Amino acid sequence: MIKHNTVILDPDKCKGCITCMKRCPTEAIRVRNGKASVMYERCIGCGECVRLCPHQAKLPSYDPFDIIKDYKYKIALPAPSLYGQFENLTNVDYVLNGLLEIGFDDVYEVGRGANLCSELTKILFDRESFKKPVISTACPAILDLILVRFHELKPHLLELLAPVDIAAKLAIKRALDRGIPREDIGVFFISPCPAKVFALKQGIGVDKPYVNGVLSASEVYMQLLPVMKTVQLKPLTKLSVQGISWASSGGEAANCSREKYLAADGIENVIKVLNALEDGQLRNIEFIELNACVGGCVGGVMNVENPFVAKARIRELRRKLPLRFNELADEGQSLDFYKWERVPELKDVYALSTDRVTAMKKMMEIEKIFKNLPHRDCGMCGAPSCRAFAEDLVNGVIPSDSKCMYKDYDE
């Protein structure tokens, strides 16, 4: 079985440069024995290290395309961002029919799930007494960031399934209605990012995963390109402007029915917004959309195209689409069908100990070591900062005789 971590290292390509380690937003990377190594319990799957590695040594983890052959009835769930990858695409049906051509038996657009999410958000805003501002939970890297680092903000989370889970549930239902046996159905998301791969394989907010495999947008793109030119166009799409807009930053927020919203993208910007919210600075905002990738999901590291080009293409495609669909009425499901089945748990990765007195002792030890380090944050010791080095020493994750090359911290 493939172990699904978010990112994997190609040790032959890794030069042990400290680029990824210095920029990891959760300080999850160390350089050990000249190679980058990920502390997976801290990794949120944002893909920054994949994006930044100058040697292409960091690879996103995803399923090989052939995994679809394990199932008799294969359903593709294309992300809205996929449509932005193709030059001169005039009609999304080329993509959908192309997916049928390369081996899928059915296609259910995640954009439809997104359209439903927008409809649901509007209804829930009117019905429920949300803790404002409500924070979108569609980007799993951000959801994970909040669960590991911004525990105080958990009550703000929008407790809705992500568009892809909604699409998966409805696609499975449609297949069952067509008389396909449950065990024959395989559901595959075509993903822009490793965060979605990890989240969907684990099942976040759901009792158990609905998706059987997560494919990379670039790999599927390579399969689609040759068939799309000649494919027979059957009308399949049920995409709306509201649904496809989720491909780029601001698209979800613009459709949440509230005027006072904020949309931030890029993991560093997102962290600033979350800190500001925690400090009580965002008192008038009602809805916050956050995307780990610059530009939103079009910026995902498993895409082909530059995020800004993809965004421009999607804007062009939008002009031909209906504004929105009222699919809630058509689907006839109760609101609970779309809500979290299980509330994800907070992760205690930063506490030095569950016992406060022990944690205090460790912290004082860290402060003592840190005070005597040169504060250059040079990364030569294999930790992203002098403070992280002191923490690693006290946590015992590095040998107690590890040295700072500038200074002997043992007085």
Q: Which two tokens stand for residue 189?
A: 């998301």
Residues in the chain: 411
Scanning 177-185, 188-196, 200-208, 370-378 for contacts with ligand SF4 by CB under 6 A, the matching segment is 188-196
| Under rule CB under 6 A, residue 314 binds ligand SF4 | no
Of the candidate residues 292, 369, 394, 404, the single one contacting ligand SF4 (CB under 6 A): 292
CB of 109 to ligand SF4, least distance (A): 16
DSSP for 260-302 reads: SEEEEESHHHHHHHHHHHHTT--TT--EEEEESSTTSGGG-TT
- For the CB of residue 275, give the shortest distance to another protein in the complex, in Å: 6
Residue 139 binds ligand SF4, judged by CB under 6 A: yes
With respect to another protein, which residue has the nearer C-beta, 42 or 74?
Answer: 42
For another protein, the binding residue among 30, 42, 74, 149 (CB under 8 A) is 149
Least distance between another protein and beta carbon 344 (Å): 15
Question: Which one among 39, 67, 89, 276 touches another protein, defined by CB under 8 A?
Answer: 276
Gap between the Cα atoms of 114 and 262, Å rounded: 18
357 binds another protein (CB under 8 A): yes
Residue 22 interacts with which of ligand SF4, another protein, none, CB < 5 to 8 Å by class: none
**Is the Cβ–Cβ distance between 345 and 338 less than 8 Å?**
no
Whether the Cβ atoms of residue 70 and residue 28 lie closer than 8 Å to each other: no
Helix axes 140-149, 194-202, angle to 10 degrees: 70
Helix/strand/coil for 47 = coil
Residue 291 touching ligand SF4 (CB under 6 A): yes
If one counts every other C-beta atom within 10 angstroms of the C-beta of residue 70, the result is: 10
121 is an interface residue for ligand SF4 by CB under 6 A? no
Burial bucket for residue 396 (CB in 10 Å: 0-12, 13-18, 19+):
exposed
Whichever of 171 and 373 has its CB closer to another protein, that residue is 373
Helix or strand holding residue 350 (H, E):
none
CA distances (Å), 168 to each of 163, 207, 210, in order? 9, 14, 6
293 lines the binding site for ligand SF4 (CB under 6 A): yes
Of 150 and 409, the one with the shorter C-beta distance to ligand SF4 is 150
Stretch that binds ligand SF4, among 137-145, 206-214, 217-225, 370-378 (CB under 6 A): 137-145
The answer to whether 196 contacts ligand SF4 (rule: CB under 6 A) is yes
Q: How far is CA 192 from CA 78, 81, 83, 378, in A?
A: 10, 7, 11, 33
Binding site for another protein (CB under 8 A): 149, 151-152, 154, 275-276, 278-281, 348, 350-354, 356-357, 359-361, 363-364, 367, 391
Binding site for ligand SF4 (CB under 6 A): 46-47, 139-141, 192-193, 195-196, 291-293, 296-297, 300
